[in-house]
Structure 1
Amino acid sequence: MLLAIDAGNTNVVFALCEHGKVRSRWRIATDPRRTADEYAVWLNQLLSLENLGMDAIDAVIIGTVVPRALHNLSTLARRYFSVEPLVAGYGDAAWPMSLHVPQPGSLGADRGLNLIAGHAEHAGDLVIVDFGTATTFDVCDENGAYKGGVIAPGINLSIDALTGNTAQLPRIAIREPEDKSVIGTTTESQMLIGVYWGYVAMIEGLLERTRAEIGRPVTTIATGGLATLFPDDLFDHVDFELTLKGLILLHEQASA
């Protein structure tokens, strides 16, 4: 079985994959100091809940936007699974699509993997919006070529900036306001309206401008854990497994 590892800025997701599908997935907070031995103890316990041992894994692919985490994750693959891991964007797992940007090496692994999976499942031009620590908008054309995109602060980063730099504003939990009014009557409701509907307006505005710039019909896809916060009708599709699907596809292509 394949162990697909998606190491983001906030969490690392480990997905046990069989026959091209995710069988199980587990999440742990990202900590670049976490050693291969610590990962192994944690994974061994979770595999045992699936009635599996460490020897069930015979391939590993890693996609990471945290360079400091790569060494320990690679050591995990070599020491405990006796395999040389594929690393998304490098070597045998180099990006299969054209990158029409001046610095192709700057493309984050998660964004590249989203593009691979998005293009495999949907025809035509795509805009993929990934709601994570940052919110990214990525554009690919009908041939799957990466054309560029946008990086915006994630919604939780926006809240952190607002509350961390003011003396009297409280920390709030982000959610959709109970009514559609954009005139709040309390400090908390005004903050929630500003962050939530302000963020929705940013998404709508950037998608509208992107569609106009592309000048052709565009399919929009949302992914990332925070995508659940926003109305589904903002996007054509919502796919929470897009990055993991990209890891599976990239492993299949590299192993062919």
Structure 2
Amino acid sequence: MILVLDVGNTNIVLGVYDNKELIANWRLSTYSKKTADEYGIEVIQLFLQNKLDPSDVEGVIISSVVPNIMYSLEHMVKKYFEVEPIIVGPGVKTGINIKYDNPKEVGADRIVNAVAVHEIYKRASIIIDFGTATTFCALTFNGDYLGGTISPGIKISSEALFERAAKLPRVELTKPQTLICKTTVSSMQSGIIYGYAGLVNYIVNKMKKEMMDLGEKEPFVVATGGLAKLIAEEAKSIDKIDSDLTLEGLRIIYEKNKEQGF
């Protein structure tokens, strides 16, 4: 078995693979002040609750956009799983070519998603990740990561509206039945959900044009992240929702580097 960890600003998503099969996955809150032991106890407990033996883990790979949590996580892996984790970053083989002006600026999660899409879908693609921020990434058929766009995440936008407008309440992120609403709560939900769908469609259409101007065929649009399904119901530019995309990318990178004796 291998353990994969995707560390985001809000959550840590963990997955356990038996060969190529994802047999368990969990979500923990990202909290940089937790110690290696605190994370270790949590993760081991998750294994035991799912009747998995932690000693069967032969490898671990981590991608992270939160640098100050890595000391605890790396030491947790070494202490509780007795393996040296692979950290996605410079020197790790991915199979894609990063065309950013400074490749080190690209978030590890964006690289991992691009690897998964390149290996699974094998076509020019636009990858949308609905996380704390929403990222749009352009990937060519040949595996060139061209760059992309970063916008505030849906929850960030919603919280900003609540915090900065005195009379507006915090609302649940659900889609109202109509665009024209008759209550403050449903009006806010309408603006957030339908407005964000419009943002997605506009950016995707513009990115498609730029990529096709470079000679690519019309890109395939893959979305991932917790709110992907909610937005995809209205953003018709999204072709596919792949909720396990990042975990699958981590597994693929692990295999590439295992073969090379990383």
- With the length of structure 1 as denominator, give the TM-score of the two structures: 0.95
Q: State the match for 1:238 in structure 2.
A: 241
**Is the aligned partner of 1:253 residue 2:256?**
yes
Judge conservation of contact 1:2–1:58 (CA < 8 Å) in 2. Answer: yes
Q: State the match for 2:175 in structure 1.
A: 176
Judge conservation of contact 1:124–1:218 (CA < 8 Å) in 2. Answer: yes
SS of 1:223's equivalent in the other structure is: strand
SS of 2:26's equivalent in the other structure is: strand
- In the TM superposition, what is the alpha-carbon distance from 1:186 to its structure 2 partner? 2.0
Q: Separation in 1 of the partners of 2:257 and 2:224?
A: 24
SS of 1:234's equivalent in the other structure is: coil
Deviates more, 1:161-170 or 1:35-44: 35-44
Q: Separation in 1 of the partners of 2:53 and 2:122?
A: 40
Letter aligned with residue 214 of structure 1: M
SS of 1:89's equivalent in the other structure is: coil
CA deviations on 1:7-52 (whole Å, 9 max, x unpaired) are 1111111211111221111111000111110111112222122333
- With the length of structure 2 as denominator, give the TM-score of the two structures: 0.93
Q: 1:172 to 1:78 in 2, by over 3 A?
A: same
**Is the aligned partner of 1:117 residue 2:120?**
no
Correspondence for 1:213 among 195, 210, 215: 210
SS of 1:102's equivalent in the other structure is: coil
SS of 2:151's equivalent in the other structure is: strand
Q: State the match for 1:141 in structure 2.
A: 140
| 1:25-64 map, 5 Å | 25-64=25-64
Correspondence for 2:188 among 167, 185, 191: 191
Judge conservation of contact 1:89–1:95 (CA < 8 Å) in 2. Answer: no
Letter aligned with residue 221 of structure 1: V
Q: State the match for 1:225 in structure 2.
A: 226
CA deviations on 1:111-167 (whole Å, 9 max, x unpaired) are 100000001111321100000111000001111110010000001100111110111
Q: Separation in 1 of the partners of 2:123 and 2:45?
A: 43
Q: State the match for 1:126 in structure 2.
A: 125
Q: State the match for 2:80 in structure 1.
A: 80
Letter aligned with residue 190 of structure 2: I
SS of 1:43's equivalent in the other structure is: helix
Q: Separation in 2 of the partners of 1:72 and 1:18?
A: 25
Letter aligned with residue 81 of structure 1: F
- In the TM superposition, what is the alpha-carbon distance from 1:94 to its structure 2 partner? 4.1
Judge conservation of contact 1:131–1:223 (CA < 8 Å) in 2. Answer: yes
SS of 2:63's equivalent in the other structure is: strand
Q: Separation in 2 of the partners of 1:54 and 1:102?
A: 41
Unaligned runs of 5+ in 2: none
Q: Separation in 2 of the partners of 1:5 and 1:129?
A: 19
Judge conservation of contact 2:138–2:146 (CA < 8 Å) in 1. Answer: yes
Q: CA RMSD in A?
A: 1.3
Letter aligned with residue 108 of structure 2: A
